[in-house]
Amino acid sequence: MITIRNLHKQYTVKDKSRKRIVVDAVNHISLTLQDDTGYALIGESGSGKSTLAKMLAGIETATSGEIWLDEINLATLKGEALRRKRSEFQLVLQNSQSALDPRRTIYHSIAEPLRCLSPQDTPRELERIQELAYKVGLPEALLTRLPHELSGGQQKRACIARAISISPKFIIFDESVSGLDVTVRKQILDLIVRLKEEEKSTFLFITHDIDVALYLSSNILVMKEGSIVEQLNNAASYDDFQHEYSKMLIAALPLQSHHIQ
C-alpha cells in the first residue's frame, strides 16, 4: 500500500517583472493507493500531475509531507535501503526516446534495472529479457537495435518492459500514450490493461484525457491546481463525475468525443 501524507511541492519562479513568486504545484495531498490496483489521475495541463508523479518516483523531493510504502516512510531510508525501496516505484514517461539510452541497445535498456537490483548470470538474464519482450509484444529481433531504430509504439513497449522487469510494487505511467497515433495508442492502452491483470503491481496512469482514464480504470482521481478534488472508485461513465471541475473537463471535450474503440 502506498500512503501519501500531506504531500506538498512549491517551486519558486520569476514572473514577468522578474519578481520571485511561489507556485504550489502540489498542495498538501493525502491519498492511499491500494496494492495490485489500477488508478487513473486526470487534470488539465499545469494541475500538478507530473510533479506528483516525480515525487512518487523520487525524481523530485517534496517541500513537505511523506510517502510511505507499507509501513515504511521513504524519508527515513538512506543509501542501499533507499535505493532498493525506490526501485519499487517505476516511472514510464511520455517521451520514450529520452527515457532510453540512445547509445545502448534496447536489450541493455530493459536489462538495466535488473542489473542494478539483482544481477543474474547471462543466460538467466537473456531468458528474462526475452520473456519481458514477449510479454509486451516486442519482437525479439529488436532487442539488439538502438532506440532510434524503433517506432514510437515499439519504444513505448521497451519502456514498459523496463519498468516491469523488476516486478515493482508501483508503476506510474505519465502521459504514456500522448503523441502516439490513434491505432498505436489503442494497442499500448490494451497492453497496459492486460499487464494490469497479469502483474502484481499498483498502476497509476496519468493523463489529461478523461476517455483514456475511463478506459483504463474505474478508480479515477481528478486533480486541479495541486489538489485532488474528486476521487471515484467505481467510475464507468461521464455521469459518475460529480465535482464541478470534472464536469467542466467533460464539457470541454470535443463534441464528437473520441471514445476509445
Does 224 bind ligand ATP (CB under 6 A)? Our answer is: no
Quick one: 58 or 113, whose CB is closer to ligand ATP? 58
Q: Cα separation of 218 and 145, whole Å?
A: 37
Nearer to ligand ATP, 23 or 75 (CB): 23
Among 33, 42, 47, 215, binds ligand ATP (CB under 6 A): 47
In the bound complex, what is the minimum distance in angstroms from residue 239's beta carbon to ligand ATP? Answer: 25
Q: Please tell me whether residue 59 binds ligand ATP under the rule CB under 6 A.
A: no
C-alpha span between 102 and 33 (Å, rounded): 34
d(CA 170, CA 149): 29
Binding flag, residue 5, ligand ATP (CB under 6 A):
no
| Spatial CB neighbours of 159, under 8 Å, sequence gap ≥ 6 | 92, 93, 96, 99, 100, 176
The upper half-sphere exposure of residue 238, i.e. CA atoms within 13 Å in the direction of its Cβ, equals 15
Nearer Cβ to ligand ATP (47/154): 47
According to the binding rule CB under 6 A, does residue 109 interact with ligand ATP? no
Tell whether residue 21 is a contact of ligand ATP (CB under 6 A).
Answer: no
One-letter amino acid at 247 equals K
Phi then psi dihedrals of residue 11, to 5 deg: -115, 145
Residues 6+ apart with CB under 8 A from 76: none
Minimum CB distance to ligand ATP smaller for 42 or for 129: 42
Can residue 208 be called a binding residue for ligand ATP (CB under 6 A)? Answer: yes
Residues of this chain that bind ligand ATP (CB under 6 A): 11, 13, 23, 25, 43, 45-51, 208
